[in-house]
Structure 1
Amino acid sequence: MVSMILNNLSQFPLEASDPEERFITSGVSWEAYESLLASLGDRSSFRVSYLLDTLEIMSPSRNHELDKENIGRLLEAYLEENRIRFWGLGSTTFRNRDKQAGKEPDECYCIATDKDIPDLAIEVVYTSGGVNTLEIYQRLGVKEVWFWQDNQFRIYYLQDNNYQQISQSQLLPNLDLALFAQYVTINDPLEAILEWRKQVRSN
């Protein structure tokens, strides 16, 4: 099973202009999932998700990675300027055998205190379909999930073991996400971070 999956991954194109590629297969045991993770090691070119017996592997596009990096830098600048303690865990693999769920976020953070599971996970979405991302995060116990799609954020907060879509972050209630989104879309990352820090300081 693992060798078959790895063979399929070798067919993924890696050109900068290519869109995201997804490989999805069902009937994958937990043992096969963990064996695949071990085989891939720290190869950051893939994001692996697992829910029950379904496995999804995504090869992100160049634009996907640009947005991911921009969001992370801008969010960390906001946290720094507001003296909010955080632990950035990037695309760390989080998994729970009992819940049969595993995920590698695009970005994720523990807020205020370090924890085994992040408080916040961020997903950049360029293509739809695949496994149910919110169900994976619900099984893992991530408090808040941000989806970046079509140049805007959709926010979900875990309440009574179910996600509710909300208009404002509960973890960072003073962060103006509509304004934040404007800086994410600035083409020059240096200009974006410098202007964003000025904006945060002025508030």
Structure 2
Amino acid sequence: MTSPVLQKPSILKESYVLLDNVSWEQLEQLDISLAGTDARLSYLDGILEIMSPLSDDHEDSKSTLSTLLETYMRAKKIRFYIRGSATLGKKENNTRSEPDESYNLGIKKPIPDLVLEITVSSGGINKLEIYKRLGVAEVWFWEDGLLSVYVLESGEYQQINQSNLLPDLDLELLAKYSRMSDQFDAVNNYTELILTDK
């Protein structure tokens, strides 16, 4: 068995390291070794990304965006189930990821319908390829207060301007409130707006 090879380290807003030539068995061993460190692992075809514990900025952005989205779905009586950052992936398709947040709409399913990813550093593993192999219907990337939405159509992700899962959701408005510095005010103001818009 060959040893994992360091491909390239990067220190940006958050630190991650890429290891090349990592077997699934080595991934499982590293997962055990890193338990309790808050490191997050993503894996695709033998390449392993280890992300350092997430920053306060990352967690604040994730919490604000997910709370706003959940507020919208509750106000519009859309049945949803929070899947959280549960590990997704299979040895059979050489993938693993821990989304920042994920949801099933309508009913609970083994794979989330919607994944949220908060991007604070560029590079790393192609998350869309991981989610494509898993069959996730939509992936939303939030970066610097802007949302990019990808929908899985005919086996490939296409960037779109409006969610297929939530076609009445104003994504620009959601992104605007996600950029507010105070989470409490952002959620309260957004709630008032969507409740008066019913």
Residue 42 of structure 1: how far off its partner (Å): 5.8
Task: Give the 3 Å change call, closer, same or farther, for CA 81–132 of structure 1 in structure 2.
Answer: same
Map 1:109-188 onto structure 2 (within 5 A).
109-188=103-182
Which residue of structure 1 aligns with residue 51 of structure 2? Answer: 58
Identity of aligned residues (%): 43
Could you list the structure 1 runs, at least 4 aligned residues long, displaced by more than 4 angstroms after superposition.
none
Amino acid at match of 1:190: F
Map 1:1-12 onto structure 2 (within 5 A).
none
**Contact residue 47 and residue 105 of structure 1 kept, 8 A:** no
Return 5+ residue gaps in structure 1 as ranges. 6-12
Query: What is the alpha-carbon distance in structure 1 between the residues aligned to residue 135 and residue 156 of structure 2?
Result: 10
* TM superposition score normalised by structure 2: 0.90
SS of the equivalent of 1:90 reads: coil
Query: What is the alpha-carbon distance in structure 2 between the residues aligned to residue 34 and residue 159 of structure 1?
Result: 32
SS of the equivalent of 1:163 reads: strand
Query: What is the alpha-carbon distance in structure 1 between the residues aligned to residue 123 and residue 186 of structure 2?
Result: 31
**Are residue 78 (structure 1) and residue 83 (structure 2) matched?**
no
Which residue of structure 2 aligns with residue 20 of structure 1? Answer: 14
Higher strand share: 2
Choose the corresponding residue for 2:93, options 99, 105, 111: 99
RMSD of aligned Cα (Å):
2.1
Residue 36 of structure 1: how far off its partner (Å): 2.2
Query: What is the alpha-carbon distance in structure 2 between the residues aligned to residue 189 and residue 157 of structure 1?
Result: 28
Residue 190 of structure 1: how far off its partner (Å): 0.8
* TM superposition score normalised by structure 1: 0.88
